[in-house]
Structure 1
Amino acid sequence: MKEPEDKKLDESLTEADKEEGTTEAKEESAETAETALDDDVSDKDESDEDERRESEELPDAVLADHAGQEPQAPNKPNRLAAVWMGVSFVLLVLLIVIAVTGPLGGKASNEVVAVVNGEEITKNDLYNTLVDAGGKQTLDSLITEKLLSQEMAKAGLAVTDADIDQEWQKLEEQYGSKEQLLSIVEQNGMTEDILRKQIHHQIELRKLLAPTVEVTEDKIKEYYEQNKEYMGTPEQVRASHILVATEKEAEEILAELKQGADFATLAKEKSTDPGSKENGGDLNFFGRGAMMPEFEEAAFALKKDELSDIVKTTYGFHIIKVTDRKEAVSPSYEEKKDELKEQLVNNEVYTKSTTWLQELRDKSTIDNKLNPEQPSTQGQPAEGSNKDEAANSGKNK
């Protein structure tokens, strides 16, 4: 069923989501990012409003390719889209600032970047606007990234390309293909490189915090019992169909099939479904809930190699042939034990990450020159801010 795949995605994303939520939520100007992150850390039982909002974010690519198939999302992948919209906003500001100031961090200049009715807009104007719009939360994210990399070095740990590729593969499996994953990513103004960078930070959090997590055998068994109904593979059928516009056409084709005509050949010649006719009408395997109710009922009632009667749906008139079947399979505890342990560890890492990151910031020496009003660590005022204000206050008394 679908829920275990949702959980895989949750665990694959949670660490970096939490980290971004910790840093970005501090800035009032990052309201869009905060909203997206709040959605991600909500309870797993999503409301109807969440379902409606998320479905609107899905790309056209997830809509049904075949007549008779209902539009559906591949295991709610838009959770990724919602989360990374906030992340991409921060990174987009960062990338634009870099483009304006140069990769070596040089200051913006008075070079003219636009002229409006004779009035100039300079690089300096653009830079200051970008910093005001999102520079503070972008810098806050970079500070957290730097702290993570320092902790990794202290622990003698590293994130390898293989680590990132493994997590990327999980996302591709969740979305069905690399192309579909990248479609969601691009819809939200991101790139593959940006997403891989965020995966890198997720893995850093997991490597740093996982050794502090203990998951008992009893806890794993309890988790299995609570979720085993979602872990199996449901019954599936593989079917081919021929779709035509009128019942008379369908009757004529059905008569030919009963006289021994080849189903695939007739599908290529006469079916009006562009998504399947070139494959001889083949729709591949599908489970319950994937097709129109009338189509599904007829298909699951057929035995292998059996023809249906004429089936009417809103798309027209179908003749269905089941070519294969897969019975439902429920995995045993031993088969799922290692995977469930990993999920539980990831859940604990996610739970701990907010407090751990805040404690890490508190014990570090951070001088934020872009946001001097933000107090530095260990109760000391940031350079050029509260300390200077206190001094000036004393002089005025």
Structure 2
Amino acid sequence: MRSNKPWKVLFVSLAAALSLSMLSACSSGKNNAEDNSTVLATYKGGEITQKEFDTDVKVMKLLSPEQAQYLELDAFKETILKQEVAFEYLAGQADDKAKQEAEKQADSQIASYKQGLGDTYESSLKEQGVTEDEIKNYMVRVLSVYQDMIQKVTDDEVKKEFEDTKGDFTVASVRHVLVGFTDSNNKERSKEDALKRAKEVKAKLDGGADFAAIAKEYSDDTGSKDNGGLYENKELGTYVEEFKKAAQTLPLNTISDPVETTYGYHIMKVESRTEKTFDQLTDEQKETIKSSVASNKLQEFMEKNLDSIIVKINLPKSSASPAASAGASAAPAGSPAASAAPAASPSASAGAK
């Protein structure tokens, strides 16, 4: 399970490029227009001005509108600025092959994005106050860095990552009944009431009740209740952590005790479970693992090396209220802390509605 460190919470650029599959870039140069704005960050080899920072924030808002409110808070602005330093610094070290691959991906992604927005494409950019060139210049940094890191991942690192996370690739058929903290009518349910109802479900199943009938009557997971609560032959890595661990360890064909996740309590039954070896992985799965290793290396750079390349931060305070900043730091459900990372998705199988 991912931690909620601020830089991970606001890792908007990487999430937009990889998880949301939105815009990329075709060139890595900065805007050549004269820029006399205040220097906000100085790092080994370069600097970031107020104009550059403001432009990148606008791009982030366009790519991740659900996170726009957090991009205005002092609690996160310094994190965003440091993130920008990291991508500019690392993009400068990326080789030509990485940049060419970034451009190739950009061509495909920008075409898909334009097609998706249709006639509203130009107005969307105008509303946010950015140009296509600014979006491209921003995103090329992200993809160039990411591609450069992927190229450096070795086969041994891929195999080690698989061994460390091999349970994620186990394929299982799981039935469950979700008693949510929000019921099917979107009415909040207390944790005590949810647990009481979950225990009632377990008692009925232990007594021989038909799982499919119980799921249809009790489950708040609209994605599975009409299918007898069944998610069939799914990789366990798609589930939230608590659900995944239970699915990995429960004895087959037994009714679990209530398993708590952020969505509520699950009563589970694992009907089948098949582990995979490395040799059984598809090329696509191996590429996914390679991407994970690259992301981990990027995270490690952020945590261990970023501060050492920053010479000075000169970020003025905004007018956002301290209360608003404090509230954002708490990262409520639905905020970037719950949605920023690709693998942090709750998955339909864990009760998403």
Q: TM-score, normalized by length of structure 2?
A: 0.36
Of structures 1 and 2, the one with the larger relative CO (CA 8 A, separation 6+) is 2
Q: Which of the two has higher C-alpha Rg?
A: 1
Q: TM-score, normalized by length of structure 1?
A: 0.33
